[in-house]
């Protein structure tokens, strides 16, 4: 049985929303506050949608391996 037009539309909207969240998190390097502002939604709304789509902000944060190591004196190691 084929999905209804409404089901097709709902699936397309969900995929577009999921992709928009992923792009916003990529642009903001995983900063949820900044991503929420970029998407013009409340932080809580973004958080709930991320949970719904199983999106983790840490996926978009720079890897610790790419950050310079800083000693306690403030100089790069």
CATH number at residue 57: 1.10.10
Region of residue 36 (phi > 0: left; psi between -120 and 50: alpha; otherwise: beta)? alpha
- For residue 55, give its domain range: 5-63
Beta bridge partners of 50: none
Average pLDDT taken over every residue of the chain: 90
Number of domains in the chain: 1
pLDDT in the model for residue 42:
98
Q: Report the first-to-last Cα separation within the chain, whole angstroms.
A: 62
**Does residue 59 fall inside a structural domain?**
yes
**Does residue 74 fall inside a structural domain?**
no
pLDDT bucket at 1, cuts 50 / 70 / 90: confident
Per-residue pLDDT of 38-75, as tens digits, reads 999 999 999 999 999 999 999 999 987 655 555 555 55
């Amino acid at each position: 049985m084929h999905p209804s037009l409404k089901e097709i539309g709902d699936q397309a909207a969900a995929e577009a929303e999921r992709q928009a969240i992923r792009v916003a998190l990529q642009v903001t390097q995983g900063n949820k506050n900044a991503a929420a502002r970029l998407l013009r939604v409340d932080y809580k709304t973004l958080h709930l949608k991320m949970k719904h789509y199983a999106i983790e902000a840490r996926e978009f944060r720079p890897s610790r391996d790419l950050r310079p190591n800083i000693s306690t004196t403030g100089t790069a190691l």
